[in-house]
């Protein structure tokens, strides 16, 4: 994979190259998951965050 392709993937996934390439611990605690979600949302625009919240509310309603 070229560096350009990798950077494009990182941009699409809102990840740093380190996050994409380095292994994470297999054991993730709930607070770690929350921090990962918040970190991903920090890279979003205000509209994207509002859309993500709407999707989360819809998902939670669907699984109840």
pLDDT in tens, 2-58: 888 888 888 888 888 888 777 665 555 667 888 888 888 988 999 999 999 999 999
Instruction: Determine the pLDDT at residue 24.
Output: 60
What token pair was written down for 19? 């996050």
Reduce the DSSP state of residue 25 to 3 states and report it. coil
pLDDT at 64 over 80: yes
Instruction: Determine the pLDDT at residue 11.
Output: 85
For the chain, the domains span 3-63
What token pair was written down for 4? 């350009």
Give the separation between CA 62 and CA 64, rounded to whole angstroms.
6
Give the separation between CA 20 and CA 61, rounded to whole angstroms.
31
């Amino acid at each position: 994979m070229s560096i350009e392709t990798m950077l494009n993937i990182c941009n699409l996934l809102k990840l740093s190259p380190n996050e994409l390439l380095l292994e994470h611990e297999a054991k993730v605690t709930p607070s770690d998951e929350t921090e990962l979600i918040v970190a991903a949302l920090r890279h979003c625009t205000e509209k994207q965050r509002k859309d993500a919240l709407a999707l989360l509310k819809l998902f939670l309603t669907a699984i109840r």
